[in-house]
A = this chain, B = another copy of it.
């Protein structure tokens, strides 16, 4: 691993939205990266960031406040590393333009996630999939590239399932999520819709959960991903919590597994070596809580500064093998923090193009 000699300039695309703001918040004081550019829609371009942004949480970082917002055009955004918080309606075209222009794009959008030559990565789970970038460049003729991270709810489930899949092989999973309002961005969910309510529907969420984990837990065979063959049934619910997606999982493995076996696997799991010791790496990517009523959304969401996924209530499932609960921070581990960790892995591997 090699830390960069001087901070690498990075850009945030879609910088004025909720995910864009989280990128900027997490990149504040980052030892390797420096926010050199912020880009957003034409409507905001040309004006100072602080003027066009309804800043949501904490103080607006001073080093970004006066940056003039650029349009989402690689010719006007100078930075080798680009974090994309763009809406899927525009991400497809814009991200491709940046990749073609030699930039490394770390994307939260869904557009390229399931493309065969695009890595969909949680570093502790499948950092080796980053090697797909080579295939991607060859196939698309790009000098840069696109690396995606998964849907926020799929991320929490995938991290809880990865150690089990590695140890026992998964065959079937039923996952029911209880997701926080911050997952919908800002202004996002109207308070009239969610105060004292549960909305058992989140548009387009269940298909993502049912598809993305197979790719992430798949095997990289040197040139392509061989998807993991387990099947997933997902139920997605919006609940009146601020941050933190909680998932209740019923899990069937290729052979019977006891809670004690699963517990041991979780306790010893460290994830990919490539993901350890980086600026955004938590002390533990996964922690197991033994109290009967944990993890809880509000009480455990900030573990590892939002980068640790908590697992608990590991118990026998009367139908399958295991029941358990997983929880993680949706806008940190499940979005901006995950992207930044992906970038850190690439930097440490020397994969970032010179500025």
* Interface residues, chain A, with chain B CB atoms under 8 Å away: 18, 56-58, 172, 174, 176, 178, 181-182, 186-201, 210, 231-233, 235, 237, 239-242, 244, 246, 248, 250, 292-299, 312-313, 317-320, 323, 325
**How long is the Cα–Cα vector from A188 to B318 in the complex, in angstroms?**
29
Q: Tell me if B297 and A198 are in contact (CB < 8 A).
A: yes
- Whole-angstrom distance between the Cβ of A153 and the nearest chain B Cβ: 13
Q: Tell me if B174 and A195 are in contact (CB < 8 A).
A: no
Across-interface contacts of A174 in B (CB, < 8 A): 174, 233, 250, 319
Q: Tell me if B188 and A190 are in contact (CB < 8 A).
A: yes
Residue of B nearest to A190 (CB): B187
- Whole-angstrom distance between the Cβ of A96 and the nearest chain B Cβ: 31
Q: Tell me if A250 and B237 are in contact (CB < 8 A).
A: no
Across-interface contacts of A194 in B (CB, < 8 A): 191, 195
**How long is the Cα–Cα vector from A296 to B246 in the complex, in angstroms?**
19
Across-interface contacts of A246 in B (CB, < 8 A): 198, 200, 237
**How long is the Cα–Cα vector from A292 to B182 in the complex, in angstroms?**
21
7 example contacts (A-B, Cβ-Cβ < 8 A) are as follows A58-B299, A182-B192, A186-B192, A189-B191, A195-B196, A196-B196, A237-B248
Q: Tell me if A240 and B237 are in contact (CB < 8 A).
A: no
Which of A172, A250, A295, A325 has the largest number of chain B CB atoms within 10 A?
Answer: A250
Residue of B nearest to A197 (CB): B298
**How long is the Cα–Cα vector from A59 to B198 in the complex, in angstroms?**
18
Q: Tell me if B201 and A313 are in contact (CB < 8 A).
A: yes
20 additional contacts (CB under 8 A) given A196-B240, A197-B241: A56-B192, A174-B319, A176-B176, A176-B235, A176-B248, A178-B237, A186-B192, A188-B192, A191-B194, A191-B240, A196-B241, A196-B298, A197-B297, A198-B244, A198-B246, A199-B296, A200-B295, A200-B313, A233-B250, A233-B318
- A233-B317 CB under 8 A given contacts A197-B241, A240-B196: yes
Across-interface contacts of A191 in B (CB, < 8 A): 181, 188-191, 193-195, 240
Q: Tell me if B248 and A235 are in contact (CB < 8 A).
A: yes
**How long is the Cα–Cα vector from A305 to B199 in the complex, in angstroms?**
21
Q: Tell me if B318 and A198 are in contact (CB < 8 A).
A: no
**How long is the Cα–Cα vector from A178 to B241 in the complex, in angstroms?**
13
Across the interface, A233 reaches (CB within 8 A) one of B231, B232, B296, B319, namely B319
Across the interface, A319 reaches (CB within 8 A) one of B176, B189, B198, B231, namely B231
Across-interface contacts of A320 in B (CB, < 8 A): 233
Residue of B nearest to A312 (CB): B200
**How long is the Cα–Cα vector from A239 to B188 in the complex, in angstroms?**
18
- A178-B178 CB under 8 A given contacts A233-B318, A292-B201, A293-B199: yes
**How long is the Cα–Cα vector from A250 to B249 in the complex, in angstroms?**
12
Q: Tell me if A248 and B200 are in contact (CB < 8 A).
A: yes
Which of A182, A191, A192, A210 has the largest number of chain B CB atoms within 10 A?
Answer: A191
- Whole-angstrom distance between the Cβ of A23 and the nearest chain B Cβ: 17
- A201-B298 CB under 8 A given contacts A192-B182, A248-B237, A320-B233: no
Residue of B nearest to A239 (CB): B239
Across-interface contacts of A292 in B (CB, < 8 A): 201
